[in-house]
Amino acid sequence: MAPVNRDFWAGKRVLLTGHTGFKGSWAAIWLTAMGVEVTGVALPPDQQPSLFELAGVGGLVRSRLVDLRNPHAIAGALGERKFDLVLHMAAQAIVRTAIEDPVGAFASNVMGTAHLLQALRSEEELKAVLVVTSDKVYANAETGRAFREEDPLGGKDPYSASKAAAEIVVKSFAQSYFETQGVPVGTARGGNVIGGGDFSRDRLMADIVRAAEAGEPVVLRHPEATRPWQHVLDCLAGYFRHLEALATDPQAPRALNFGPRPGGPTVTVGELAGAAVEALGAKPWRHVRDPFSLEAKSLAIDATLAKAAIGFESRLDAPEAVALTMEWHRRRAAGEPALALCREQIAAYEARP
């Protein structure tokens, strides 16, 4: 089965928030390649360089640079335009940034989501809405058990708590307004995503690339920590399939986990970093302990329901995801255009058996 249904997406009018970010830029490139009319709403890129600028994403979509924390600005940006589908990815997405500015994280992730959903209530042609939250929405006792969709929500750090709170906001809007109008609203809980074009602060692959360019070893705070690693194309394909299911199947689950294939090996931060520095020919990583960190040491999610309910599972394991990521960065550093690299990897991913 193809990872995405191009026939479904062709000609759709999609509101994509967060199109200036790493995942959002990949989503915009992929959606426009499928013939989607994309309106992007987001803040300007918060890092330099950015995939948004390198790949010229602003020229592919109807781009509106808007702060979702401002309800009047988002309403004005949407104007009288009609949308079939909404993929809400805009967020404050860095754990350590949220720890430094917890109020800002809650303003973006909770109130930004509420403002968007409020603005969408007047959309008369809307078929479905998917809000991207995080694998960190669950109350994590760090037992190593993979979380399932029915597990309790929680969060001991501001980022996790803000995403869990966003889940509650989404459910309340869905049950109070959208579902009664026949518009399903779901949430997607994606794992830790890697891929070419991520230059964000405090992201493992981005830190490795920066260290390699500087001729320095990357510093790891928690090399023993485990995460549900996933390539950006696997994650986005899951989001697209979930949104399609919401729009076409009344029984589609409203919340789904997207992560590595069930039963796959657990990969630590140190193991993933080791594979990445080897692929780049960079210096080995070194460990500097952070005794004040609030980040979870163990995190795993169970993506079984996505396979059972919508027929989706990840196609790339962690070594393949690392290889694709580092290939993208090596070739971009050698002068190849970012947009062409993204389109090539998207086409190859869609062609996989």
- Please tell me the predicted confidence (pLDDT) of residue 88: 98
In a domain, residue 251? The reply is yes
- The answer as to whether 262 is a domain residue is yes
CA distance 171 to 69: 19
Mean pLDDT, range 46-60, rounded to an integer: 95
Higher pLDDT, 237 or 209: 237
d(CA 280, CA 326): 6
Q: How confident is the model at residue 79 (pLDDT cuts 50, 70, 90)?
A: confident
Domain at 231, CATH number = 3.40.50.720
Q: Phi first, then psi: give them for residue 237, nearest 5 degrees.
A: -60, -40
The region of weakest confidence among 28-42, 249-263, 275-289 is 275-289
Three-state DSSP at 273 gives helix
- Report the number of distinct structural domains present in the chain: 1
> Would residue 25 count as lying in a domain?
yes
Tell me the pairing of strands 185-190 and 85-88.
unpaired
- Band (pLDDT 50/70/90 cuts) for residue 290 is confident
Q: Is the pLDDT of residue 298 over 80?
A: no
> In terms of residue numbers, what domain contains 343?
10-351
In a domain, 96, yes or no: yes
pTM of the predicted model as reported, rounded to 2 decimal places: 0.94
* Residue of 142, 144, 27 whose CA lies nearest to 154: 142
Residue 182 covered by a domain? yes
Q: What is the mean pLDDT of residues 32-46?
A: 96
For 207-285, strand residue ranges (E) read: 219-220, 229-231, 255-258
Specify if 1 maps to a domain: no
Any domain includes 3: no
Q: Report yes or no on 70 lying in a domain.
A: yes
Span between the terminal Cα atoms of the chain, in Å: 8
Q: Which of 46-50, 100-104, 226-230, 263-267 has the highest mean predicted lDDT (pLDDT)? A: 100-104
